[in-house]
Each structure stands twice: as C-alpha cells, then as structure tokens.
C-alpha cells in the first residue's frame, strides 16, 4: 500500500470540495483532493443547474472564467409556479437576475481552477475507510486499482449526501450530528433535453408540484436546452421518478420531439444543516453536512462558502498545532449564523408541508403574494414585509384561500416560529461547552412546530 502525507485531504470534487481545496492551497498548505470519478467524468453531477450568480462565491478562483465558461443563461428574471388545477403563478425577481449553468462544464472549471491555484487533484480514487486513533488522521482507498493511504492533519468530507466517511468515523465523545436518516433526504432525477423550437419561458425557472411533497422543474440552459427533473421526499412512498418525468414531458406541447442529451440521478438533503459538522481532525461540507436549501434543493452557494470557511478554520488549527473539536468549532459558528439559520428556518415549511396533501398546499401557496413566497422559499426563510404589506397580504390571501383557513393559520404560525428559530441560530455557541444548552432551546421550539403542524418529528 502506498502512503502519502498531506496537511489536508479533501474527499469529493463537487463545489464544496473544490472551494475547500482551492482555499487551503492558497493558504499555502499541502492539499490533495480525491475524486472517485475519472478526469473525463469529473464535474458530472446531477443538479438543477439554477444559480443566483457568482457574486457570493469566495474569491479563491477565477470567478469570471467560471461565468464565461459555464453560465449558459444569465437572463432568469422570474419564477413560474405551475398550478395543475388553476392559474399559474408568475413571480418576477425584484433584486436582479439569476442564471442557469452547464453543470458539467461548471464542475470541470472548478476542478481546473483547484489545480491551477496549487491543489493536487487525484481522480479514480474510491475511499473505503478512515484512519482514526482518537482523531481522524487520514483515509484509505483504491486509486487506479492500487490501494493507497493518505495521512493528513485534517480530512474534509465533501463526499456528498449520506457520505460513507460518516459511517466509518467514530464520533463517540464528540458533538458531531449523527441524528441523520435517509428519510431526511430527497431522491432526484434530471434529464437535459434539446427542444426543436425555443421555449417561451427561457427567462424563468419553472416549478410544478407533484405527489409526495415533491416538485418537477424546468430550468432553461438556453432557449432550446432544458434541465428537466423532479424529486420526492424519502419519508414518503417511493415515486417512479423516470416514468413520472416522462409522462409530464409528453404532456408539454412545447417539448414534443425533444431529444434527451444526458440523464442522471442523485440524493440530496432536504433537512436543516448538521448541528455540528466537526470532530477531531474531521470536517464535513456541502451536501455531506446538509448545506442545501430544504425547500428548493439549491446548494451551490452554501457549498462554496462552507468549503472556503472549513479550509480557513482548518488552516489556522493546523498552524496552532491543535485540530481538536474546539479548534475547528469556529467553522460551525460561521455556517449556522450565516446561511445555516435561513436553511433551518426553511426546514420548518418542509415539516409543515409533510402534514398536508399536495392539493391543499398548492391552493395555499398560490394564494400567497409573490414577495412573501420568495422570502419563504429562499431569500430570508421568513416573511420580511412591512406591516401595511402584511395586512394587505393577509386580507388578499384569506379571500383566496376560503376553505383552507385552518391550513393558512398554521402556515402563519410556522412563519412566526421560523423567525424565532433564526434568532436562536443567531446565538449559536462559539464553543462546544455551550452547545448542549443551545440545542435544548432549539429543540423546545421544534416541539412547538410539531404541535402546530401535527407533523411527525423529523429529528
């Protein structure tokens, strides 16, 4: 067996892994990124491809090169919610446009940039186990058919949803979040299709509800190239993803004669971020730590930030000669007081939705004002409208949702709890010593959520 020694080893070449490795390299550390795919397949990841933009990405790679190479549609101006039983819901973006990317090229550029700034990237490497003796000290696997071992001061787990590494690490005596089950995840499938004629919604990201608390999406990469996919919650009965998508594609006149260019499936977290994603010598980032918007599945910006912050904190810990849990804890604090609080708040709407059928949810959702829905699903995690706007919205929504006022009342109660939850996450502890009391406060609020919604406990 070949043994290599590094300061940091990153497992997984997605967004989080690349930003972690690139950041560590720019900090002057000896870092290797291990990717299970071949170099030709590197970057090929199932994704919706929609993204707000590159402005929130950490400045450790050539972001303009990334945009030029992979942003194929930068004119996304609105979100279109398809109501199968009523009027469609068109919501313009008020604060700039979004984009849709060629995810394969996007991933390739990230890997290219990771190498360019000084990190080593090793493809065809399948990790089988971790090296651990009190702290995680490395990983073992097979690289191009040869058994290899990498020793490292810190291992960064960017291996995606339900990461194998988390099954191998002994987390006893740590605060690492092991309250993770497959029911907290979503199974998703997408196809890239080429249409004979341009679609009319090339300036929109299109959503359509499905059974089992899922949704179909149509995200236009170009006027004729569409990312079409769907997902469902794994705590619901299984959905035949391929056949459901096929039926919906066949029912769209504008997609008649479309050719499938690529198809891929994946699992993604639709849960709050891990309460703690660090253990001695070990850190998890991106999908491997639940860093995904649980209502939309969007995870690229959070993954980029998480990878960057993990590497920055790990660099300082290595420099100080201490890679224990307390030394890595600052990474948790950065995540939870930033996008972590928003994602945790959005998770409450996911819990609320699990207690209602899709028709009722559709009726309530399509009655909400557009700005309110955007706040809830992505921008803030709770409604931020002014008092007059809230009063007007309440009157209009109440009129539109006659027959569903009980559900609407629950939704407003959940919104208030989401705002309170964000305040709790603002006070996420700066050290592990205060973690247990913080969890108790958060869990007390979660009991209120379950009481209001009637939903089964998720955690």
- Average pLDDT of the segment spanning 419-445: 98
Highest mean pLDDT among 11-25, 210-224, 356-370, 404-418: 11-25
Give yes or no: residues 106 and 228 share one domain.
no
Give yes or no: residues 188 and 167 share one domain.
no
Band of pLDDT at residue 399, cut at 50, 70 and 90: very low
pLDDT at 406 over 70: no
> Based on the structure, what is the number of domains in the chain?
3
pLDDT at 366 over 70: no
- Average pLDDT of the segment spanning 279-284: 98
Give yes or no: residues 252 and 398 share one domain.
no
Give yes or no: residues 40 and 24 share one domain.
yes
The last residue of one of the domains, among 309, 336, 363, is 336
Give the burial class of 251: count Cβ atoms within 10 A of its Cβ; 0-12 exposed, 13-18 middle, 19 or more buried: exposed
The last residue of one of the domains, among 293, 312, 336, is 336
Q: According to the model, what pLDDT value does residue 225 have?
A: 97
Give yes or no: residues 402 and 430 share one domain.
yes
Give yes or no: residues 48 and 147 share one domain.
yes
Give yes or no: residues 320 and 419 share one domain.
no
- Angle at CA of residue 292, ends 425 and 330, nearest 5°: 45
Q: Which CATH number does the domain housing residue 214 bear?
A: 3.30.9.10
Give yes or no: residues 152 and 188 share one domain.
no
Alpha-helix runs per DSSP H in 231-299: 241-250
Give yes or no: residues 20 and 135 share one domain.
yes
Question: Is residue 83 included in any domain, yes or no?
Answer: no
pLDDT at 30 over 50: yes
Give yes or no: residues 116 and 254 share one domain.
no
Q: Find the helix or strand (DSSP H, E) in which 79 lies.
A: strand 78-81
Question: Is residue 422 included in any domain, yes or no?
Answer: yes
Question: Is residue 89 included in any domain, yes or no?
Answer: no
| pLDDT tens by residue, 15-25 | 999 999 999 99
Band of pLDDT at residue 367, cut at 50, 70 and 90: low
Rounded to two decimals, the pTM is 0.90
Q: Which CATH number does the domain housing residue 316 bear?
A: 3.50.50.60
- Average pLDDT of the segment spanning 386-410: 50
Band of pLDDT at residue 182, cut at 50, 70 and 90: very high
Alpha-helix runs per DSSP H in 240-386: 241-250, 300-320, 325-336, 339-354, 358-365, 370-374
> What's the chain's average pLDDT?
88
Question: Is residue 80 included in any domain, yes or no?
Answer: no
Give yes or no: residues 40 and 116 share one domain.
yes
The last residue of one of the domains, among 269, 288, 321, is 269
Angle between helices 325-336 and 339-354 (to 10 degrees): 70
Q: According to the model, what pLDDT value does residue 140 have?
A: 98
- Average pLDDT of the segment spanning 309-329: 98
Domain hosting 346: range is 341-453
Q: Find the helix or strand (DSSP H, E) in which 110 lies.
A: helix 103-116
Question: Is residue 88 included in any domain, yes or no?
Answer: no
Question: Is residue 17 included in any domain, yes or no?
Answer: yes
Give yes or no: residues 51 and 133 share one domain.
yes
Question: Is residue 157 included in any domain, yes or no?
Answer: yes
């Amino acid at each position: 067996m070949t043994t290599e020694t590094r300061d940091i080893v990153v497992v997984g070449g997605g967004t989080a892994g690349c930003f972690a490795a690139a950041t560590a390299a720019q900090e002057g550390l000896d870092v290797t990124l291990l990717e299970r795919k071949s170099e030709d397949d590197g970057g090929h990841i199932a994704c919706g491809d929609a993204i707000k933009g590159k402005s929130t990405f950490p400045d450790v790679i050539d972001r303009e090169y990334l945009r030029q190479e992979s942003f194929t549609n930068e004119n996304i101006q609105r979100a279109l919610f398809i109501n199968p039983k009523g009027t469609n819901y068109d919501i313009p973006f008020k604060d700039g446009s979004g984009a849709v990317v060629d995810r394969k090229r996007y991933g390739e550029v990230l890997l290219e940039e990771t190498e360019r700034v000084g990190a080593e990237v090793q493809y065809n490497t399948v990790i089988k186990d971790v090296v651990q003796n009190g702290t995680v000290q490395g990983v073992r696997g097979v690289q191009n058919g040869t058994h290899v071992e990498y020793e490292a001061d810190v291992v960064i787990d960017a291996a995606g949803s339900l990461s194998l590494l988390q099954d191998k690490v002994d987390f006893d005596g740590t605060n690492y979040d092991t309250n993770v089950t497959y029911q907290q995840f979503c199974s998703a499938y997408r196809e890239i299709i080429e249409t004979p004629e341009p679609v009319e919604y090339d300036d929109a990201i299109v959503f359509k509800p499905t059974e089992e608390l899922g949704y179909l999406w149509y995200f236009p990469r170009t006027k004729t190239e569409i990312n079409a996919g769907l997902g469902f919650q794994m705590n619901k009965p299984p959905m035949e993803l391929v056949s459901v998508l096929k039926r919906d594609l066949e029912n769209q006149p504008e997609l008649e004669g479309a050719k499938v260019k690529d198809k891929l499936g994946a699992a993604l977290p639709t849960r709050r971020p891990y309460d703690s994603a660090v253990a001695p010598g070990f850190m998890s980032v991106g999908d491997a730590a639940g860093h995904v918007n649980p209502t939309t599945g969007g995870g690229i910006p959070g993954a980029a930030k998480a990878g960057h912050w993990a590497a920055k904190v790990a660099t300082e810990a290595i420099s100080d000669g201490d890679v224990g849990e307390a030394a890595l804890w600052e990474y948790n604090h950065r995540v939870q007081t930033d996008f972590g609080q928003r994602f945790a708040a959005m998770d409450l709407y996911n819990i609320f939705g699990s207690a209602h059928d899709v028709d009722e949810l559709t009726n309530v959702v399509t009655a909400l004002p557009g700005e309110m829905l955007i706040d809830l699903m992505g921008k803030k995690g709770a409604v931020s409208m002014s008092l007059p706007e809230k009063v007007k919205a309440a009157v209009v929504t109440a009129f539109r949702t006659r027959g569903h006022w009980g559900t609407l009342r629950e939704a407003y109660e959940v919104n208030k709890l989401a705002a309170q939850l964000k305040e709790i996450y603002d006070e996420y502890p700066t050290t592990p010593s205060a973690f247990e009391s913080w969890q108790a406060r958060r869990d007390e609020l979660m009991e209120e959520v379950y009481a209001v919604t009637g939903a089964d406990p998720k955690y």
